[in-house]
Amino acid sequence: MTDALVIGAGPAGLMAAEALGKAGFAVTIADAMPSVGRKFLMAGKSGLNLTKMEPMDDFLAAFGAAPPQLRAALADFGPDAVADWAKGLGQPCFAGSTGRLFPVAMKASPLLRAWLARLDGLGVKLRTRWHWQGWQENVAVFDTPAGRQTVSAKVTILALGGASWAKLGSNGAWVQHFAADDLAPFAPANMGILVDWSDHMQRHFGAPVKAVKLTAGAQETRGECVISARGLEGGGIYMLSRALRTGADLHVDLLPDWPLARVRAALSKPRGKTSLSNHLRKVLKLDPVRIALMSEFGRPFPDDIAPLIKSLPVAHRGPRPMDEAISTAGGLRFDALTTGFMLRNRPGVFCAGEMLDWEAPTGGYLITACLATGAKAAQGAREYAAGL
């Protein structure tokens, strides 16, 4: 028997293991993959955005109608705590102009190495290629390279991930071990959308669309997106995930800082023999990418094209496949958990991370919530163990 078993070695599981190890628990981590933190490492390939330094009310707003348990976890382990934690691992951070916090090293690998060294110093045991197969009474069962293994623990924390990027370990297969009533269906979040481009758009594949406002349903954002061979992706699109995956139309304001009257006044200047594209470039200062979008979705042009500049409808076929999404909505419902993140129908078992039914945009919110729920589940586990 071990004091604590943590199943899943992403940010939530590693944070839970760290908190329990510091509290004096003998901790074993079991993960199905050959190495730990694979999705965490992938997140750091273009710069590891750990959190966003902003007022807590603004930070919480990014999570929408977050349940009380999640709000409490984020209040206890928010952006400042994340920054202090990274610094404690020897990874100083800096905040960019938008408040997004990055390690000075930018990559995830130095932080992960320091984290694993800390866990090793706490005596935490790590088992890889251990595939969780559910429960045999109150004992966790695993398929391992050495055959079937069982682990009995005083407390167990499940941090099994969502259902995107299966090759990195998050495949959602764990849902088979839970009652259907305790689960919300998985759905893609922070995902690109599919667009059937005409041939003339090929030269713009990979180009960023800057200085626009994107609107889908009741959601809107100022941000960038990228034209890809299959559609649109990037932070601006990800912010609209909730609306886009439910079929909302997408509209792009190509000049969000210009009121409609100003656009009309600029377009009314004599055009002469100048092509419409050149006219848009000269009087509106539109770059080639925004002009291409106008040509793609605005034809046939009406006599008054100013409203199209301010609200260009972008035809799309909905989300890209869930396994390509950065994260997922859905998972284990919070009403299946106590305020301490313990499963109501399985005392001593706690849950954390992306396996829970919450959703947030990229920009540091995802990693922070995983760390926060891991810490909160560990707190619940300590309190439960103390009462045994």
Q: What is the DSSP string of 97-163?
A: TTSEEEETT-SSHHHHHHHHHHHHHTT-EEEES-EEEEEETTEEEEEETTEEEEE-EEEEEE----S
Say if residue 7's pLDDT is above 90: yes
The C-alpha angle with vertex 263 and arms to 262 and 266, in degrees rounded to 5, equals 85
What size, in residues, is the chain? 388
What is the Cα–Cα distance from 143 to 149, expressed in whole angstroms? 6
Domain boundary among 265, 284, 314: 314
d(CA 160, CA 343): 14
Between helices 365-386 and 79-88, what is the axis angle to 10°? 80
Whether residue 223 has pLDDT greater than 90: no
Contact residues for 73 (Cβ-Cβ < 8 A; gap 6+): 341, 369, 372, 373, 375, 376
Res. 385 pLDDT band, cuts 50 70 90: very high
118, 213: one domain: no
Residues 300 and 277 both lie in one domain: yes
Q: Using an 8 Å Cβ cutoff, are 379 and 16 in contact?
A: no
Q: Which domain holds residue 17?
A: 2-187+323-386
Do 182 and 197 have their domain in common? Answer: no
Total number of domains in the chain:
2
- We report the CATH number of the domain holding residue 62 as 3.50.50.60
- pLDDT above 70 covers a percentage of the chain that reads 100
Cα distances from 227 to residues 197, 237, 243, in angstroms, run 10, 11, 20
Exposed (0-12), middle (13-18) or buried (19+): which is 36, by Cβ within 10 Å?
buried
Residues 139 and 82 in one domain: yes
Domain boundary among 281, 314, 347: 314
Pair (296, 356) in one structural domain: no
- Tell me the average pLDDT of the chain: 96
157 forms bridges with which residues in the sheet?
6, 350
Residues 104 and 239 reside in one and the same domain: no
Question: Same structural domain for residues 170 and 249?
Answer: no
Residue that has been written with the tokens 């028997």 in this structure: 1
Q: Are residues 76 and 118 in the same domain?
A: yes
pLDDT the model gives residue 212: 97
55 plus 171 within the same structural domain: yes
Mean pLDDT over residues 232-238, rounded? 96
Q: Residue 240 — very low, low, confident or very high, per pLDDT cuts 50/70/90?
A: very high
- 13 and 78 co-located in one domain: yes
Same domain, 147 and 284: no
- CA–CA gap between residue 64 and residue 241 (Å, rounded): 12
pLDDT in tens, 59-105: 999 999 899 999 999 999 999 999 999 999 999 999 999 999 999 99
pLDDT tens digits for range 277-330: 999 999 999 999 999 999 999 999 999 999 999 999 999 999 999 999 999 999
Distance CA 130, CA 353 (A): 19
Choosing from 267, 297, 314, the residue where a domain stops is 314
Q: What is the DSSP string of 299-336?
A: PSPPS--HHHHHSEEE----BPPGGGSSEEEEEE-GGG
Task: Report which secondary-structure segment, H or E, holds 207.
Answer: none
Same domain, 276 and 198: yes
